[in-house]
């Protein structure tokens, strides 16, 4: 197999040094070596900044910092604008990647030219990296096209995308803060980009706390589900919209319980 350049895009914002170490070690030690690792650091915490700086000893690592905080969508787009790879691999600063994650995904994309985006199943882990549960995502493009109207069909921190796909449909939409990844998958789906989830676990995904699931997240999710309502998937689209309304109407304690069950 050829080894095309892969650009790994990692946004960081005041993540704990121990989480950064676990995450970055899982990237720099990938068995796929032809990487450029682009870190967009929005941090203000000196311990986070110092933890990231230790990885500059790896010549593949580039750290981008701006004077003013960018926010996640703009930070991701900044990294994408710098990327030189044939493929874009997303990673987060608190998740732990399987060491063969990138090699398996690149091998799949190289042998399946009709697929534009690939991800995988995930283990959800807690603060201390203990596995909570495994989530199985819809596998085929047809499965994804149906499921996307109900829930986000892929895990953003284990996604690998052909750069040519992003050049064609555009980068993350900064107007969909908290839902920028979901918006991108909807847009890709609407543009005929085929998506596939490898049916194996390739990342340990650290579960977000409820703060990250704020009203803006649900407002933008609802906006997306309405915008991409599909008559071909009428019942899925209707259920997806109603589920958001029902969720936001429930008490916060119930929301947290549901989130922990569905995450």
Q: What are the structural domain ranges in the chain?
A: 6-262
Q: Are the C-beta atoms of 185 and 153 separated by less than 8 Å?
A: yes
| Runs of H (alpha helix) within the chain | 17-28, 46-53, 72-82, 101-111, 141-147, 163-169, 180-190, 215-227, 234-249, 252-262
Check residue 255 and give its pLDDT: 56
Instruction: Indicate the average pLDDT of the chain.
Output: 92
Check residue 260 and give its pLDDT: 59
Tens of pLDDT along the chain (263 residues) come to 569 999 999 999 999 999 999 999 999 999 999 999 999 999 999 999 999 999 999 999 999 998 888 899 999 999 999 999 999 999 999 999 999 999 999 999 999 999 999 999 999 999 999 999 999 999 999 999 999 999 999 999 999 999 999 999 999 999 998 899 999 999 999 999 999 999 999 999 998 654 445 678 889 999 999 999 999 999 999 999 999 988 777 776 655 655 555 66
Check residue 133 and give its pLDDT: 94
Distance separating alpha carbons of residues 171 and 180, to the nearest angstrom: 9
Nearest 10 degrees: Cα torsion 200, 202, 208, 214: -70
Going from the C-alpha of 46 to that of each of 37, 42, 78, 149, the distances in angstroms are 21, 11, 22, 41
Domain 6-262 fold is Spore Coat Polysaccharide Biosynthesis Protein SpsA; Chain A (3.90.550)
**Helix 215-227 and helix 234-249, axial crossing angle in degrees, nearest 10:** 160
Pairing of strands 115-125, 194-206: parallel
Check residue 18 and give its pLDDT: 97
Distance separating alpha carbons of residues 61 and 39, to the nearest angstrom: 7
Distance separating alpha carbons of residues 134 and 87, to the nearest angstrom: 26
Check residue 61 and give its pLDDT: 98
First to last CA, the chain: 36
Tokens 């309304």, residue located: 245
Check residue 211 and give its pLDDT: 44
Tell me the two tokens of residue 3: 């080894």
Distance separating alpha carbons of residues 168 and 180, to the nearest angstrom: 17
Nearest 10 degrees: Cα torsion 86, 123, 261, 139: 50
């Amino acid at each position: 197999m050829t080894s095309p350049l892969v650009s790994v895009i990692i946004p960081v914002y005041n993540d704990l040094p121990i989480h950064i170490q676990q995450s970055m070690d899982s990237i720099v030690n990938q068995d796929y070596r032809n990487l450029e690792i682009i870190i967009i650091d929005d941090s203000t915490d000196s311990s986070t900044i110092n933890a990231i700086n230790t990885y500059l000893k790896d010549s593949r690592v580039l750290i981008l910092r701006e004077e003013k905080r960018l926010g996640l969508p703009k930070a991701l787009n900044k990294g994408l604008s710098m990327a030189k790879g044939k493929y874009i691999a997303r990673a987060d600063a608190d998740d732990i990647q399987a060491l063969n994650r990138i090699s398996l995904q690149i091998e799949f994309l190289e042998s399946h030219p009709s697929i534009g985006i690939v991800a995988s199943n995930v283990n959800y882990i807690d603060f201390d990296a203990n596995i909570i549960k495994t989530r199985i995502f819809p596998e085929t493009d047809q499965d994804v096209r149906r499921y996307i109207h109900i829930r986000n069909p892929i895990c953003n921190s284990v996604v690998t995308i052909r750069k040519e796909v992003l050049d064609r449909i555009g980068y993350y939409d900064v107007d969909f803060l908290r839902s920028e990844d979901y918006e991108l998958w909807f847009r890709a789906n609407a543009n005929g980009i085929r998506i596939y989830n490898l049916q194996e676990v390739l990342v340990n995904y650290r579960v977000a706390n409820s703060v990250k699931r704020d009203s803006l997240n649900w407002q933008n999710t609802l906006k997306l589900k309405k915008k991409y309502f599909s008559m071909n998937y009428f019942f899925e689209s209707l259920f997806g919209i109603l589920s958001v309304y029902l969720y936001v109407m429930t008490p916060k304690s119930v929301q947290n319980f549901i989130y922990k069950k569905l995450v």
